[in-house]
Amino acid sequence: MRFAEVAAVWSDVEAASGRLEMAGHLAKLLAQVKKDEVKALTNLCQGILAPPYEGLELGLGEKLAEQAISIVSGRSAKELETHFNKSGDWGAVAEWALGKKKQMSLSAEELELNGVYASLVKLAKLSGSGSQEGKIKTLAELLNSASPLEAKYIVRFCVGKLRLGVQEPTILDALALLRVPKVKDKIAGFAPAPGGKRVPVEPKWNYEPEGKKEKELSTADSDASLEFVFTCIDTKSMESASFEDGAKIEIVLEGLAPLRDITVTKIRPVKDRADYYRAVLMGFKKSVRAPLERAFNLSSDLAHVAELALFDYAKVEKFQIRLFSPVRPALAERLSAPADILEKIGPCAAEGKYDGFRLQVHKDGERVELYSRKLEKVTHAFPEVVEAARKLPAKHLIFEGEALAYSKKEKRYYSFQTTIQRKRKHGVAQMAEELPLHLFAFDLLYLDGVDWAVQPYESRRAALEKLVAGQERIEASSIKQVKSGPELENFFEHCLKEGLEGIIAKDPSAPYTAGARDWAWIKLKKSYGALADTLDVVIVGYYRGEGARTGFGFGGLLVAVRNEQSGNLQTVARVGSGFTEEEMVELEKTLSAIKRKTKPAELESSIEPDFWVEPKYVCTVSADEISLSPQHTAGQANGKGYALRFPRLMQMREDKGPEQCTTVAEVERIYSLQKNRGK
C-alpha cells in the first residue's frame, strides 16, 4: 500500500466528526491492506510503533524535526520557527515548507507504508553517540520522498503528536464494519430465541419497491443496527415464529457461530411483495464486534487481532490467552455501602484493597516479565518480584497482584507515596535492597495449559492459594467470605485499620472480566468527601500562579474525563488545591514542556485555561461532591455538565495513561451513589 493512500485517509479521519465516521474511513484502508502491512497500519493509525508492552517509542525532539525539514526544504530555521509560532504544529510547518520546496530532490521515490514504518522503527532504535545526526538523516530521507501531506503526518508522528484521535475502540469498530458485509452474505436464518427453531431465509440485498433504483443494503448510521430485506424459504415456520418488536433472536450464519442477543425492532412484510420481509435488527454490529473485542482484551495486541480478523477470522472466535501478551486488566465497579454490595452480588469474597502497583506476571520457565496497569513492560524495575516469581511451582503462568512496600515482621503496609519511590530507571538494584516490594496475588489467569480466566472466581482463588502457598515474597491477598452487610462492614473497617485503602468484593461465580469494569468486582474505598471514589482525570491545561503562587508560575489545573461514547475528553474541574510547593514546581516544569497553542482536538471545553497542554498526564483528585454546572462539558445535557465541587489533587497517577482515565459513565455512577448517600 502506498503511504499516500494512508495520508489521504488520515486527512478524512481528521475531518470526521464522530468515532463511527472515523471507523468508516479506516475500514476503507483496512479493506485494502495486505497481510504483511497490517502491523504497520494499525500501529501507525494509533500514533504508535508497537503496543506499550514492547516499549518501542519514538518521541523525536522538535528541534531534530525542524533540522530535517530545513535540510529537505531549503528553508532556514528562522523561517520555519516563524511559521511554527503561527500554527503550533510541526506537521503543518512541514506541509507548508515542502509545498514550497526550494530545491528539487533527485532521489525521490513514492513512499510505501511498510517502508515508512521500517524507517520510523529504525529512528526509534537509534541511540548512543552520533544518533542525533543519524535521526536527522533518516527523517530527512523520508521527507525527501514525501508529498507535503505525507510529510505533515510523518513529522507529526515523529514528534509524538499525530492527533488523529484514533484509539483502540475506533480500530475495533472499523474491523467490525468490515465484518458486516461478510456476515450479510452468510445469513441463513433466524431463530426466535437462542436455540429456538430456525427460520431459513434468503437475503435480498438489492430489493427496493416501486421501481426505485436498486440500492445497496444499508447499514444504518447507528453503531448497532442493520436493515435488510429477505424472502422466507419456509413460510410456515415464519408464521409460527414470534418476531415481536423487542424480542431477542439469534441469527444463524452459514459456517460461522450464530450471532446472539440481536433485538428485533421490526420485521414487516413488504407491501407490494407478499413473500418479502423487511427487517431491522438492533445489536447487530455489537455482536460482530464482541469476538474482536474479546480477542483484543485477552492479548492487548491490536495488530495481531486485526491480522486475524482480516485474514483468518476463525482464530478470532477461538482466541486464547498467550504468554507475554498481557491481558487487559479486569476493573472494579463501585458502591458506597456494604449492604448494597450484598444486595448486588449476594454472599461473596471480600479482599483487602492494597494501594501499590498492579502487576501482571507472565512466566515461562526462567523467563519472567511484569506488566503494569497501563500494560507497559516494567520487568526491569522490580528484580525482587521477578526472582520471587521464578520460584513459583509452575512452568507456564499468568497471574496478577498488587506490589507494595511492606514489612512482613511488623505486618505493616507502607503508603503509596513510599511505594512510588520504586518507580525509577536508575539505581534499581539499590532501591530493591532498601525498599523491597511484596506481592499480594489476587488473581490467576493461566497455569500450565489451563485457561483459568474463564473459570469462576472461587476456583481461581483456590488454585491461586495453592500456587503461592509457603512463598516468601508473594502471598495471596487477605480474604474474608461474607454473607451479610455488617460482616462486610467489619472486614472493611478492619482493612482500613491495617492501613489498606478499602476492600474489593468479588462475585464467587464470575469469570475474569478482561478489559471491563464489571460487577464481578466491586470496590468500597475509604471515604473521600461525599464521593464513593476518587477520580482519575487527564490534565488538559493549567493556570499561571497568582498572589502567593506567582513565584511558582503555577496556579492550578484544568482536568477532564473521557466520554466513552464519542471518545472525546470533557472537562470536569479546575483543581486549585492539594498541591505541595514541590508539586507546584514539578508540575510547572512537566506541563510547560507539553504546552500547546490550541485546544487539543479531542477535548470539549467551554473554559480556556492560561495554557493548553497535550492530554498526557493523569492525576487522582477527590472532591466534596459532584454538582451540575454550565461551566463543564462532562456528560453535558441541557446545557449542564458534571463538575467537581472543591476538588483537590491527591496524587499523580503515573500508572495510568489518558486512555485509562475515569469515564463520564463512571462519573454518572459516582454522582448517583452520592445522591443515594444523601437520602
Return the range that interacts with ligand ATP (CB under 6 A); candidates 47-55, 267-275, 324-332, 460-468.
324-332
Pairwise CA distance, residues 524 & 454, whole Å = 25
At closest approach, how far in Å is the CB of 493 from ligand ATP? 17
Q: Which is nearer to ligand ATP, 173 or 351 (CB)?
A: 351
Residues of this chain, 468-487, that bind ligand ATP according to CB under 6 A: 477
Angle among Cα 620, 439, 397 to the nearest 5 degrees reads 110
Q: Please, which residues have CB within 8 angstroms of residue 269's CB and are 6 or more apart in sequence?
A: 276, 277
Q: How far is CA 191 from CA 196, 200, 236, in A?
A: 5, 9, 14
Binding ligand ATP (rule: CB under 6 A), the pick from 19, 152, 353, 461 is: 353
At closest approach, how far in Å is the CB of 486 from ligand ATP? 21
Task: Report DSSP letters for 74-87, one per residue.
Answer: ---HHHHHHHHHHH
Cβ–Cβ under 8 Å, residues 501 and 523: no
Q: If binding is defined by CB under 6 A, does position 354 make contact with ligand ATP?
A: yes
Pairwise CA distance, residues 79 & 578, whole Å = 43
Return the range that interacts with ligand ATP (CB under 6 A); candidates 164-172, 217-225, 345-353, 640-648.
345-353
Cβ–Cβ under 8 Å, residues 416 and 651: yes
Cβ–Cβ under 8 Å, residues 632 and 570: yes
At residue 158, φ and ψ (nearest 5 deg) are -65, -35
Record the cell numbers describing residue 332, joined without a space: 472494579
Q: If binding is defined by CB under 6 A, does position 331 make contact with ligand ATP?
A: yes
Q: If binding is defined by CB under 6 A, does position 351 make contact with ligand ATP?
A: yes
Q: If binding is defined by CB under 6 A, does position 304 make contact with ligand ATP?
A: no
Q: Which is nearer to ligand ATP, 113 or 375 (CB)?
A: 375
Residue among 625, 651, 616 nearest 573 (CA): 625
| Amino acid at residue number 245 | D
Q: Which is nearer to ligand ATP, 144 or 478 (CB)?
A: 478
Pairwise CA distance, residues 421 & 147, whole Å = 47
Return the range that interacts with ligand ATP (CB under 6 A); candidates 10-18, 237-245, 352-360, 461-469.
352-360
Pairwise CA distance, residues 153 & 113, whole Å = 12
Record the cell numbers describing residue 586, joined without a space: 514539578
- The residue from 285, 353, 363, 656 that is catalytic is 353
| Amino acid at residue number 495 | C
Return the range that interacts with ligand ATP (CB under 6 A); candidates 74-82, 191-199, 325-333, 467-475.
325-333
Q: If binding is defined by CB under 6 A, does position 442 make contact with ligand ATP?
A: yes
Return the range that interacts with ligand ATP (CB under 6 A); candidates 2-10, 294-302, 348-356, 630-638.
348-356
Q: Which is nearer to ligand ATP, 206 or 415 (CB)?
A: 415
At closest approach, how far in Å is the CB of 406 from ligand ATP? 13
Q: Which is nearer to ligand ATP, 45 or 532 (CB)?
A: 532
| Amino acid at residue number 333 | E
| Amino acid at residue number 71 | I
At closest approach, how far in Å is the CB of 496 from ligand ATP? 14
Q: If binding is defined by CB under 6 A, does position 496 make contact with ligand ATP?
A: no
Return the range that interacts with ligand ATP (CB under 6 A); candidates 65-73, 327-335, 554-562, 570-578.
327-335
Record the cell numbers describing residue 343, joined without a space: 444486595
Q: Please, which residues have CB within 8 angstroms of residue 495's CB and are 6 or more apart in sequence?
A: 352, 353, 478, 501, 502, 503
Q: If binding is defined by CB under 6 A, does position 617 make contact with ligand ATP?
A: no
Bridge-based pairing state of the strands 348-353 and 273-282 = unpaired
At closest approach, how far in Å is the CB of 657 from ligand ATP? 12
Q: Which is nearer to ligand ATP, 241 or 505 (CB)?
A: 505
Q: Which is nearer to ligand ATP, 143 or 621 (CB)?
A: 621
Cβ–Cβ under 8 Å, residues 166 and 45: yes
Q: If binding is defined by CB under 6 A, does position 378 make contact with ligand ATP?
A: no
Bridge-based pairing state of the strands 199-203 and 225-232 = antiparallel
Q: Which is nearer to ligand ATP, 326 or 329 (CB)?
A: 329
Pairwise CA distance, residues 654 & 298, whole Å = 23
Pairwise CA distance, residues 215 & 634, whole Å = 40
Record the cell numbers describing residue 397, joined without a space: 503462568
Q: If binding is defined by CB under 6 A, does position 669 make contact with ligand ATP?
A: no
At closest approach, how far in Å is the CB of 421 from ligand ATP? 18
Angle among Cα 317, 322, 327 to the nearest 5 degrees reads 85
Q: Which is nearer to ligand ATP, 164 or 504 (CB)?
A: 504
Instruction: Give me the 58-87 binding string for ligand ATP, x by CB under 6 A, dash otherwise.
Output: ------------------------------
Residues of this chain, 497-556, that bind ligand ATP according to CB under 6 A: 504, 523
At closest approach, how far in Å is the CB of 22 from ligand ATP? 26
At closest approach, how far in Å is the CB of 254 from ligand ATP? 40
Pairwise CA distance, residues 311 & 525, whole Å = 46
Angle among Cα 370, 373, 378 to the nearest 5 degrees reads 30
Pairwise CA distance, residues 545 & 308, whole Å = 52
The verdict on whether 589 is a catalytic residue reads no
Q: Which is nearer to ligand ATP, 188 or 504 (CB)?
A: 504
At closest approach, how far in Å is the CB of 557 from ligand ATP? 18
Q: If binding is defined by CB under 6 A, does position 461 make contact with ligand ATP?
A: no
At closest approach, how far in Å is the CB of 402 from ligand ATP? 4
At closest approach, how far in Å is the CB of 455 from ligand ATP? 16
Q: If binding is defined by CB under 6 A, does position 358 make contact with ligand ATP?
A: yes
Residue among 81, 103, 100 nearest 90 (CA): 81
Return the range that interacts with ligand ATP (CB under 6 A); candidates 63-71, 196-204, 350-358, 406-414.
350-358
Q: Which is nearer to ligand ATP, 247 or 479 (CB)?
A: 479
Task: Report DSSP letters for 95-120, one per residue.
Answer: HHHHHT-SS--SS--PPBHHHHHHHH
At closest approach, how far in Å is the CB of 477 from ligand ATP? 4
Q: How many of the chain's residues bind ligand ATP (CB under 6 A)?
A: 14
Return the range that interacts with ligand ATP (CB under 6 A); candidates 79-87, 253-261, 289-297, 346-354.
346-354
At closest approach, how far in Å is the CB of 352 from ligand ATP? 6
Binding ligand ATP (rule: CB under 6 A), the pick from 123, 332, 349, 388 is: 332
Q: Which is nearer to ligand ATP, 91 or 329 (CB)?
A: 329
Binding ligand ATP (rule: CB under 6 A), the pick from 373, 377, 473, 549 is: 373
Q: What phi-psi label fits residue 521: left (phi over 0), alpha (psi between -120 and 50 degrees) or beta?
A: beta
Question: Taking the CA of residue 598 as centre, how many other CA atoms within 13 Å lie in the half-sphere pointing to its CB?
Answer: 11
Q: Which long-range contacts (CB under 8 A, 24 or more apart) does 269-272 make?
A: 270/207, 270/209, 270/229, 271/209, 272/209, 272/210
Binding ligand ATP (rule: CB under 6 A), the pick from 173, 402, 475, 507 is: 402
Q: Please, which residues have CB within 8 angstroms of residue 119's CB and are 6 or more apart in sequence?
A: 138, 141, 142
Task: Report DSSP letters for 204-231, one per residue.
Answer: -TT--STTPPP------SSTTEEEEEEE
Binding residues vs ligand ATP (CB under 6 A)? 329, 331-332, 351-354, 358, 373, 402, 442, 477, 504, 523
* Positions marked active-site: 353
